[in-house]
Chains A and B, each alone.
Chain A
Amino acid sequence: DTGVSQDPRHKITKRGQNVTFRCDPISEHNRLYWYRQTLGQGPEFLTYFQNEAQLEKSRLLSDRFSAERPKGSFSTLEIQRTEQGDSAMYLCASSLSSGTSTDTQYFGPGTRLTVL
């Protein structure tokens, strides 16, 4: 399967702990997006990379959140000092930006975070 993969699929943590999620995009996709989805809502944008550069961050991305894409391939999203309000599904998507592509985003299965 050459789709977007995310690890772990589920994470349960206690309030105040740090957590890190990983996303592996579709090979050769140069854009990578992180979204968050809470129950009953559509996904909400968090941040976006083109290659290794983080080009946009949402106001939702508080200073407890940090994302990296060090070599322009996989990405990590870290949440420090987790709060119960951080409980959500964290989704990763990737796309290929080129002169002829339509930059369609393909999503991974998500990581479901539960903060106790």
Chain B
Amino acid sequence: DAKTTQPPSMDCAEGRAANLPCNHSTISGNEYVYWYRQIHSQGPQYIIHGLKNNETNEMASLIITEDRKSSTLILPHATLRDTAVYYCIVRVHDNYGQNFVFGPGTRLSVLP
């Protein structure tokens, strides 16, 4: 089972920031938080990941709470092309590799 919970759907106005929450209250100390998104009929696209510090890249920012039990993905200026299902996943890094366990994700609709 997925170790994260996300709202099933969210709307966001075009040009505004989209803030997507994720709860991972049972996260272990060595588990990273990953975010992917999937646009209709395409493969999942990597967005960002982090351990405990906030992270930013050209796509998004990831804010992880100090207790690491929740996080927020921020798309600073959402566009219509950001409409997609967003998945939050926790995963440990080790020498053996691990698959991702995907939940149902959050369906983000960016509205004009």
On whether the beta carbons of B42 and A110 are closer than 8 Å, the reply is yes
The SS class assigned to the B binding surface is loop
Selected from A43, A45, A95, A112, the residue in CB contact (under 8 A) with B44 is: A43
On whether the beta carbons of B100 and A102 are closer than 8 Å, the reply is no
Is A25 positioned at the interface, with any CB of B under 8 Å from its CB?
no
A56 to chain B minimum Cβ distance, whole angstroms, is 7
Selected from B32, B42, B45, B87, the residue in CB contact (under 8 A) with A42 is: B87
On whether the beta carbons of B104 and A48 are closer than 8 Å, the reply is no
On whether the beta carbons of B95 and A33 are closer than 8 Å, the reply is no
Is A28 positioned at the interface, with any CB of B under 8 Å from its CB?
no
**Which residues of B sit under 8 angstroms from A40, Cβ to Cβ?**
104
Smallest CB-CB separation from B2: which chain A residue? A42
Question: For chains A and B in complex, what number of residue pairs have CB atoms within 8 angstroms?
Answer: 60
Smallest CB-CB separation from B104: which chain A residue? A42
B69 to chain A minimum Cβ distance, whole angstroms, is 21
A18 to chain B minimum Cβ distance, whole angstroms, is 24
B87 to chain A minimum Cβ distance, whole angstroms, is 6
On whether the beta carbons of B95 and A97 are closer than 8 Å, the reply is yes
Smallest CB-CB separation from A110: which chain B residue? B43
Which residues of A85-116 are within 8 A (CB) of B? 89, 91, 93, 95, 97, 102-110, 112
A40, A41, A43, A106: residue with the most chain B Cβ atoms closer than 10 Å: A43
On whether the beta carbons of A105 and B43 are closer than 8 Å, the reply is no
Complex Cα spacing A112 to B41, Å:
9
Complex Cα spacing A72 to B102, Å:
26
On whether the beta carbons of B100 and A105 are closer than 8 Å, the reply is yes
Interface residues of B (CB under 8 A from A): 2, 32, 34, 36, 41-46, 49, 85, 87, 93, 95-97, 99-105
For this complex, 5 residue pairs linking A to B, each with C-beta atoms less than 8 Å apart, are: A33-B99, A89-B41, A93-B43, A107-B36, A107-B44
Interface residues of A (CB under 8 A from B): 4, 31, 33, 35, 40-45, 48, 50, 55-56, 58, 89, 91, 93, 95, 97, 102-110, 112
